[in-house]
Amino acid sequence: MNNTRSHMPGFSLIELMVTLGVMAILLVMASPMITTTLEKNNVSSATNSLLASINYARAEAIGRGTYVSMCPTTDGRTCTTSTDYDTGWLIYAYTSSPVAQAAYDSTKSNNILLRYITARSGVSIQAGNTKILTFGPQGEMKPDNTPSAFDICYQQASSGTAQSTSEVPGVLLTLESSGNAFNQTLAAGAACTGPAPSSSI
């Protein structure tokens, strides 16, 4: 009678502990890279969302043959006199007696709310001024002193002013008077406090 045991393949306790130790070290090394990638994606997502809204507002102005505006909001019902677009923004049109840069008023029948974009977390979106962004029937910006540029940067919850860094660069989104928009990378160290007038076209 053969009492020998057959050898069962597997890991010893020491081998398993070594493997887990190596995995933990690799995870710690990769963590900053993962965090940086997520922060970059946050800035990119916010930039794309703002650009999509600008293009949408412009297209609606052309299609409707009237003024279409964008303004920052904190409640989804009223415009705020602020440069902070990371709190959310409204896109709206006028059915009669259009006035460029008129604030959205949910109580008036001549205001049509087209879209409400909710607040963005972990990102700062600052306009160049507090004026309402308005497009005319030809897709042009109305009037000339409408905000023509935005700073977009990663914002840490515990920090004050957001800043462009070499690891997570900010974005300068610029609008031309024709209504076209383009973006470029902000220099490392630039504060995201809203573009100066000289930064816009």
Percent residues over pLDDT 90 in the chain? 43
pLDDT in tens, 150-198: 999 998 765 677 889 989 999 999 998 888 888 899 999 988 888 765 4
Q: State yes or no: pLDDT of 84 exceeds 80.
A: yes
* Cβ pair 126, 140 in contact under 8 A: no
pLDDT of the residue at 101? 75
pLDDT in tens, 2-52: 555 555 566 677 777 777 777 777 666 656 677 788 888 999 999 999 999
CA distances from 11 to 2, 80, 140, 177 (A): 26, 63, 69, 68
pLDDT of the residue at 7? 55
The full set of domains in the chain, from first to last, is: 35-199 (3.55.40.10)
Q: State yes or no: pLDDT of 200 exceeds 60.
A: no
* Cβ pair 71, 80 in contact under 8 A: yes
Mean pLDDT over residues 106-122, rounded? 88
Q: What is the mean pLDDT of the chain?
A: 83
Retrieve residue 72's tokens.
């920052």
